[in-house]
Amino acid sequence: MCGIVGYCGDEQAAPILLRGLERLEYRGYDSAGLCVETDGKLVTIKASGKLKNLAALTNDGKAINGVCGIGHTRWATHGIPTDTNAHPHLSDGERIAVVHNGIIENFRELRAFLENRGVTFRSDTDTEAAAQLIDYYYDGNLIGAVQKAVSQLEGSYALGIICRDFPDTLIAVKKSSPLIVAHTGGGSAGYASFLASDVTAILKYTRDMTYLEDGDMAVLTRRGIKFYDAYGQQIEKTVTRIDWDADAAQKGGYAHFMLKEIYEQPRVIRDTISSRINGMTVDLSDAGITPDYFDSFDEIKILACGTAYYAGVAGKYWLEQLARIPTEVIVASEFRYADPIIGKRTLAVILSQSGETADSHEALREAKRLGAKSLGIINVRGSAITRECDNTLYINAGPEIAVASTKAYTALLAGLYLLAAAAGQKRGAISPERLSAIIGELESLPDKLEYSLKTCAEAAQYAASQYFNHSSVFYIGRNLDYAAALEAAHKLKEISYIHAETYAGGELKHGTISLIEPGTLIVAPAAYEPLTAKLRSNIDEVKARGAEILCVTQEHMAENLKSVSDYMITIPDCDATISPFLTAVPLQLFAYYAALMRGENIDQPRNLAKVVTVE
């Protein structure tokens, strides 16, 4: 969600902070602000709304002098989006300024404590309590004051801190919210230290990043960074090299990041799959998964949120069909509070694009506390979840900037399919002939995705032109088509704001069919051939009540469904188990063009954040 950038170096800080915040706009925000130390004062400028408002107030940062500062894009949790509630927040005497991602759960108690001691608060936020508390404990020892203050904070936080008494110093400290620091020792970037909530903010300046762990504190100056643990002892930290280029986070000529990322899917799937197929074997040794790995558990719990959860629904079908492993998909935010029954023979599979999703991270910790083994299927290397999982299968999607996930979704599907195939192979649940067919389908999948993008784009755009003005849409499917429909409806509602719901086709008669009336749009992925006849019966039911049908099916199945479809999009013929990859393409494009025709902000939909780092 919110974005943090900090800079201390040889150049003017404000323009660099603004450029970093621009790189974080994709995360979602409703206000922004900067604080720069200037001649012994903390100059703070904040603006609600888009970052361009802040840029206008500061003449693109040129109006603020100073070489050390912090910046923030805020997504409101406590207090409505206003200039006052925007970050950075200053202490009562304007000696301390703080930017914060996360939620301080005991801020009311801290605020009451401080107000009773004469401290005046300006905002409605939880963050201001952190700034005021640090100042309360400050006696000239900034590090000590920060340590005392954070020891009293409950909840999650990534804090960037600046003090007017230390004009060349930033402090970073975190718990359950991502924070990265980096240093450049000369060269084109000069001598400088950076902090950020996401590598994209500072990747222009360096590829060498250090990820802070919970309880870590980093003290940044232009000459370097010192690290301390929760007890104040100086420690050494590992530097991680980022292997993708900053240009990967640019639009590359596409109108929106979402469209670019849809078209990147063939390359992403090729990168995820190709190195993991060795002849007639699925090889996951890069994730530490050897053949005997599958002897260590009897059941799988897939823990995920949002789009990753819907990928997990498909994964459940694959793991049970191909590997015969009992699998349950659980919403990560519910898992911790459900008193789950798991143990040492359970494998917890954590799905996350960012590897920083707070609910998924906490679900992982709970699963490990109960004794489960853990496997992350993650996109971002070095992220919080990867550092705590026993094993990690990276999906190699590269940076995904649009809030609505597309390429990371299909890459998560690929990771799950590879896991199911490898498990089925080891457990003897897949015959050699079937395994050969599956590997052949995987190897041809990138080409089929490229073909789909060429042949489906115009059809999806036309379908969107016919239906973008609907206020409510129902998606139906069975088995893997149901899994595909869940994610497709999620995409439509995320970016177009059209109400969209998904139902298993057989559930229509259990109440939902009462909502069908003439003109109701039903979107029906119908590519899972074993149950196409069943789904056609469900389509007949709603068609008889006046619904309009948009059907997505394989080319060789189209004739059978043509008579019940008002509009049809075909995908290349494929093995039924592969179909969710291919139905995703036209349904992503349908959502994209529907949002475009409604004039919505496709890459930054309202109220949503790319990385949800609070519960």
**Catalytic-residue membership of 610:** yes
Q: What is the 3-state secondary structure (H, E, C) of 140-195?
A: CCHHHHHHHHHCCCCEEEEEEEEECCCCCCEEEEEECCCCEEEEEECHHHCEEEEE
Amino acid 187 reads G
Q: Among this protein's residues, is 62 annotated catalytic? A: no
- Rounded CA gap, 165 and 65, in Å? 17
Spatial separation of the C-alpha atoms in residues 474 and 548, rounded to whole Å = 10
Q: Which of 174, 373, 426, 610 is catalytic?
A: 610
Nearest in space to 220 (alpha carbons), one of 270, 169, 271, 258: 169
Residue type, 389: C
Tokens 């529907």, residue?
A: 594
The span from the CA of 500 to the CA of 488, in Å, is 9
CB-neighbour burial class of residue 80 (10 A; exposed 0-12, middle 13-18, buried 19+): exposed
Hey, is 570 helix, strand or coil? Answer: strand
Q: CA-CA distance, 557 to 589, in Å (whole number)? A: 21
Tokens coding 44:
């703070």
Contact at 8 Å (CB) between 380 and 373? no
Q: Are 51 and 21 in contact (CB under 8 A)?
A: yes
Looking at this protein, which amino acid is placed at residue 335?
F
Residue of 2, 8, 456, 551 marked active site: 2
Task: Give Cα separations from 413 to 301, 416, 420, 439, 496 (angstroms).
Answer: 16, 5, 11, 15, 24
- Distance in angstroms between the alpha carbons of the first and the last residue of the chain: 11
Q: Would you name the residues annotated as active-site residues?
A: 2, 610
